[in-house]
Structure 1
Amino acid sequence: MGFIEEFKSKNFSIYAQWLGLLSLPLLFFTGIFAFVKGFIFSIFAWILCFILIFVEIPLCIKVCPTSDRFDSFIKNFENHWIRTVGYLVFATLLFVFAHFATTLYVIPGITLLLTGICYAIAGGLRQQHAASSFTGGDSV
């Protein structure tokens, strides 16, 4: 299934995954740009980016050598509601950083907020969790 078919599927889990994937480079590059002024933010952004890579790209868990403990930690995020809470907490933390530092931190915070909202809609509609076929998932 291609990107257009996934977009037409009206599965908010897929939309959330695409928004989560959009958050990855934003977190990474914002962490680089903010390294001098916001060292703590940069470390937080890179750790968050690392975790989200494994949460949003199922192929990484299959391909990368990880410990059983890390795999079980990532499997906790298979539920829409857990992902919703996680993304909303991450977005809130970024907005708090933006309040004390610079508005640059708002950009990945917005994508994380939208991702959390999409996962909440998917959970509210009781949609099955689906991962995009581009990331090693089974799509819709």
Structure 2
Amino acid sequence: MTLMDEFRTRNFSIYGQWTGVIAMILCFALGIANIFNFHWVIVFSVICLVCSFIILFIEIPLLLRICPTSGKFDEFIRRFNTSYMRAAVYGVMSTIQWLSIIAKTTSLIAAAILLLVAAAFYALAGLKKQEFMSSKTLGGQGVAQMIV
């Protein structure tokens, strides 16, 4: 199944996964860009950077097999294997970035918006009772099992 075939399935978990990957890149970039603020918004930029790495392991399951991580971290990441759990974690990450407005209005709002969109996609997948589907391009649906 190609990437376009995956998008044609109209499964919102695929949309959420790809939105999450874009959010991961944006969180990393904006976290680094805002870390140079001489304001306490630096805390939110560090949190944004940490969120980008959490998203990396959530959305690309192949990395859990390749990268040497602790058992506790693997267990934490594996909790997010349903659409509702992913919607919850993205919702929490989005809320944290929205709270950065309290400190100072910065470009972290873009990360908050994209994280909220990813949460909405995963929530829609759960509400529509769509089976959780992971993109083969990102190492899901049997690709990770082929390596071991």
Superposition TM-score, scaled by structure 1 size: 0.94
* CA-based RMSD: 1.3
Any residues of structure 2 matched to 1:36-47 within 5 Å, and which? 36-37=36-37, 38-47=41-50
1:91 aligns with 2:94: yes
Of residues 80-89 and 96-105 in structure 1, the stretch that sits farther from structure 2 once superposed is: 96-105
**C-alpha deviation, 1:57, in angstroms:** 0.5
The residue type equivalent to 2:30 in the other structure is T
Of residues 92-101 and 114-123 in structure 1, the stretch that sits farther from structure 2 once superposed is: 92-101
What residue ranges of structure 1 are gaps of 5+ in the alignment? none
What residue ranges of structure 2 are gaps of 5+ in the alignment? 143-148
Q: Is the 8 A contact 2:44 2:96 kept in 1?
A: no
**C-alpha deviation, 1:103, in angstroms:** 3.5
Provide the residue aligned with 1:67 in structure 2: 70
* 1:7-57 Cα shifts (integer Å, max 9, x gaps): 101110000000000001100110111012132122101111111100000
Over the matched positions of the two proteins, sequence identity in percent amounts to 36
**C-alpha deviation, 1:100, in angstroms:** 2.8
Q: Is the 8 A contact 1:87 1:115 kept in 2?
A: yes
Provide the residue aligned with 1:28 in structure 2: 28
Please point out which of 104, 110, 113 is paired with 1:110: 113
SS state at 1:77 partner: coil
Structure with greater proportional helix content: 1
**C-alpha deviation, 1:129, in angstroms:** 1.2
Structure 2 distance, partners of 1:12, 1:134, is: 16
Instruction: Provide the aligned length of Structure 1 versus Structure 2.
Output: 139
1:136 aligns with 2:139: yes
**C-alpha deviation, 1:95, in angstroms:** 1.0
The residue type equivalent to 1:45 in the other structure is C
SS state at 1:66 partner: coil
* Segments of 4+ moved more than 3 angstroms: none
Provide the residue aligned with 2:13 in structure 1: 13
**C-alpha deviation, 1:90, in angstroms:** 0.9
Superposition TM-score, scaled by structure 2 size: 0.89
The residue type equivalent to 2:93 in the other structure is F
Q: Is the 8 A contact 2:45 2:108 kept in 1?
A: no
Provide the residue aligned with 1:49 in structure 2: 52
